[in-house]
Structure 1
Amino acid sequence: MRIWVDRQNGDVSDLPRKALSRTAKLASLPLGAAGRATLGLGKRIGGAPAEAVMAEFQRRTADQLFSVLGELKGGAMKFGQMLSLMESAMPEEFAAPYRATLTKLQDSAPPMPAATVHTILSRELGKRWRDRFTEFDDKPAAAASIGQVHRGVLKDGREVAVKLQYPGAAEALRADLRQLGRFARTFGTMVPGLDMKPLIAELQERIGEELDYDREAQAQQQYADAFKGHPEFLVPRVVKHSPTVIVSEWIEGRPLSSVIADGTQQERDEIGLKYVRFMFSGPRLAGLLHSDPHPGNFRVLEDGRLGVVDFGLCARLPDGLPPAIGQLLRISLNGDGAAVLEGLRAEGFIKPRMEIDPDQLMDYLAPFAEPARADTFQFSRAWMREQANRTGDFRSPNASLALRLNMPPSYLLIHRVWIGGIAVLSQLEAKAPFREVLEEFLPGFTDED
């Protein structure tokens, strides 16, 4: 057997065996689904009701999905988090069995051993790293796709979050995403209503950015400076960072996922509005757009403020959001399809010689404009599913139109935040004056801009 050296952390390990183990676990997802489907067919032949068989199939598939994706972390875990974000777009009969399971993937994963944590901190902060702390909890407070967070107390009394990247995270991300890409079509049968290929492609494009903790720390501090003393939001300041460790101020709060699960309507309305205000105010105040909108990155603080963590993926927008977005949204609300068509063509969304019917384009874009049409808008899972069906049904003209549109690179992260944000608001079932936020923070949306 060949022994390999993990160049990221200097450990000697059997990497080929680990890689094979990860591949085998990922392969077990579609294979397991096929086996359960066969078992279900047998039960139907034996007289079991179709509804009972389907419910059991979905429950077991959800259990296996969390078990495998949660254990592997890496790209598999990140993929699971994206699925948890988009479950509001699934048909309810399919979404219900997955909802609780996928929600776990938003901010939880099996932890690293304490010895591994100590090794990383010795390498990144120095062999006497413990001298910096009066307290350090070896048990992680949170764990996610490429890193985990520990609580500590510095010598000066400050509570801090110590975020460490998993050893071999880069290799795991790339290997997992290659493997998940091969199974994209099969995953579609496990989680109906979602096209997996775009999700995986988006993750593959952003690997380098999310692995660079120096880059993340710079973005977090830029946000913290811009929102210092803000009455609605709190971004923890960075204390120290390295390529694989970030030490920042600790924030205590209720996860946004718990508000989605059991918050009152008033809580969901208030937090939904703050969530939107944070996303849209970032480009103007910080020159950045927080581009990972899933609920695991947000905490509701005791004083009502919204705490924000994890700045691994941010769009650099030093001049703020492109004014064309607000201008085109305003024109769309006025019903001028021809002007919207030409505006999208000018921005690169429609190639020069591509012929598109303006009326069909307006019908396709309606869900993007609808929340801005009224002074107050009610998001819901039912509304989100309706919009997904309008564009996802291959028999619909909107589906063929979607294939003809182009996504300029400069808009990739903006589009991700827009769609992901709508998904979170639909999970919250929030009702609020979202149009006011656009009028305040979206350049070009008002006639004066």
Structure 2
Amino acid sequence: MAKNSSSPSRRFLKLASMTASIATKTVSNSIRNLNADEEQKNQSRSKLFQDIGLQIADTLGEMKGAVMKVGQIASQYKDIFPPEVAKAIAKLQRQAPAMPFADIKQQVERELGKPLDQIFTRFDEQPFAAASIGQVHCATLPNGEEVVVKVQYPGVDQACESDLKQVRLALRLMGVLKVDKKLQDRLFQEIENSLHEELNYEIEAQHLAVFRTFHETLDSKIIIPRVYADYSSRRILTLSLEKGDSIETASTWDLELRNQLGRRLIQALGQQMFFLKRFHCDPHPGNFAFRQDGSVVIYDFGGVKTLSPDILAHFKTLVQAGRQGDIATIENHLLALDALAEKNKFPAELYHAWLEVFLRPLTTYYDFAENSSHHDGMHLVKKSLKYWDVFKPSPDTLMVNRTISGHYWNLIHLKVHDDLTDTFEALLPPPAQH
């Protein structure tokens, strides 16, 4: 990345011109459609959103750094965008191009206070992974241990605040955020908090230590990298090299082992949510590796969500009410979580149909490769569409929903075929029958 493209004024101009262009497109679209009928308006709006989505993705993708990270976070919160925009922004979750090694070397030396060759006996120039706010290199410590070093791009943290404001302005101008102002404020506050946490590798180091200690006591086959504090700082994170195979490779192993790995993934997530009250909330398959002895390696603790006791109590009650088909209780708790606009507007028979679809993978002998819940859910979407405005994207439920659905797809990739009832009930025992 050329230095001048990341200067604050250049970034600001690029974002401002994107925002102005979006505003112009939106206004001219409104003028063109003054006399159009409903169907023409909808088609035109969909085309506009596609254009805008691509423009946002292209601009943010070029700029790297915080802006691209904002785009990636936006794609995680895609429930709040029209599908055309969400689809374009989702492109930003793919691999970013690497930064020149000279910049990376300078950043490591500045952060750790010594020349690179005095810190590591080997440091690979080519990164093996590059993301929006940093990249990862393999290295060797003076004692011979192999490690991975996560290096944050220079200047990313300073650009953060203004980037977020500009992206928000662009989205507001085009009127694509499907939520009211108050909820927008809460959502963007959440995005800002998670961005600040992710930009501070000292916080990630703490998360790694906490999760490593937590899982060691429960299951030695959940592997979390160890932090080398002497080789880490706010912008550098040095971790033990924990090897494992990708989800694609693991999906070719025999069924018994695949089931064991799937169970371990679900169990680890449930234990984090219900016992640790904080969870690893980036379920991207690249953040997990698998071993033939049934171990699961978890990487990247930049995204961790903490659950308050209140929120957790709502979730537990929702699950119990779902098991019992108790719609009134479900609606009360969805209202409390700001996930429901008003009660008694969604038909009871649709609630029951959705509950069966949601609970099926956790309460029956379920073939994830066949994925019947997803296919039945697609049919239900058509019947449910006209009631969709009853539900709201809630800041309290977005990350939980995203993480659970992400792991559902991980189990599909692993082609798990198992009855997970006992795992589910161990995490959340059903109410005692009187």
Provide TM-score, normalisation by structure 2: 0.70
Task: Specify the alignment match of 1:248 in structure 2.
Answer: 239
1:124, distance to aligned residue in structure 2 (A): 1.6
CA pair 29-384 structure 1, distance change in 2 beyond 3 A = farther
Task: Give the secondary-structure state (helix, strand or coil) at the position aligned to 2:391.
Answer: helix
1:322 to 299, 312, 317: 312
AA matched with 1:17? R
1:213, distance to aligned residue in structure 2 (A): 1.4
Are the equivalent residues in 1 in contact too, given 2:245–2:289 (CA < 8 A)?
yes
2:413 aligned with 1:436: no
Task: Specify the alignment match of 1:296 in structure 2.
Answer: 286
2:247 aligned with 1:235: no
2:150 to 163, 168, 181: 163
1:382, distance to aligned residue in structure 2 (A): 3.8
Which deviates the most, 424-433 or 121-130?
424-433
Task: Give the secondary-structure state (helix, strand or coil) at the position aligned to 1:280.
Answer: helix
2:130 to 134, 143, 150: 143
State the aligned residue count.
395
CA–CA distance in 2 between the matches of 1:85 and 1:337? Answer: 28
1:78 to 59, 62, 69: 69
Are the equivalent residues in 1 in contact too, given 2:346–2:387 (CA < 8 A)?
no
Are the equivalent residues in 2 in contact too, given 1:255–1:296 (CA < 8 A)?
yes
Alignment map for 1:19-30 (pairs within 5 Å)? 19-21=12-14
2:402 aligned with 1:416: no
Q: Deviations over 1:326-374 (max 9, x none)?
A: 23312222122233344556x55489xx862286478458646643353
Task: Specify the alignment match of 2:33 in structure 1.
Answer: none
Are the equivalent residues in 1 in contact too, given 2:314–2:337 (CA < 8 A)?
no
CA pair 180-66 structure 1, distance change in 2 beyond 3 A = closer
AA matched with 2:425? E
2:359 aligned with 1:376: no
Which deviates the most, 132-141 or 358-367?
358-367
Q: Deviations over 1:141-194 (max 9, x none)?
A: 1111222111111122221111122222234443443333344489999xxxxx
1:215 to 193, 203, 211: 203
Structure 1 unaligned spans of 5+:
1-5, 38-53, 190-196
Q: Deviations over 1:185-207 (max 9, x none)?
A: 89999xxxxxxx79867523422
CA–CA distance in 1 between the matches of 2:310 and 2:141? Answer: 36
1:116, distance to aligned residue in structure 2 (A): 1.4
Structure 2 unaligned spans of 5+:
30-45, 177-183
CA pair 182-369 structure 1, distance change in 2 beyond 3 A = farther
CA–CA distance in 2 between the matches of 1:135 and 1:161? Answer: 11
AA matched with 2:399? R
- Matched residues, percent identical? 27
CA–CA distance in 1 between the matches of 2:345 and 2:13? Answer: 51
Are the equivalent residues in 1 in contact too, given 2:77–2:398 (CA < 8 A)?
no
CA pair 242-301 structure 1, distance change in 2 beyond 3 A = same
Alignment map for 1:27-176 (pairs within 5 Å)? 68-78=59-69, 81=72, 105-106=92-93, 108-176=95-163
AA matched with 1:252? K
Are the equivalent residues in 1 in contact too, given 2:327–2:351 (CA < 8 A)?
no
Task: Give the secondary-structure state (helix, strand or coil) at the position aligned to 2:121.
Answer: strand
CA pair 89-320 structure 1, distance change in 2 beyond 3 A = closer
CA–CA distance in 2 between the matches of 1:132 and 1:144? Answer: 24
CA–CA distance in 2 between the matches of 1:390 and 1:150? Answer: 49
CA–CA distance in 2 between the matches of 1:167 and 1:132? Answer: 19
CA pair 75-122 structure 1, distance change in 2 beyond 3 A = closer
2:323 to 333, 336, 357: 333
2:269 to 251, 276, 279: 279
Provide TM-score, normalisation by structure 1: 0.68
CA–CA distance in 2 between the matches of 1:83 and 1:376? Answer: 35
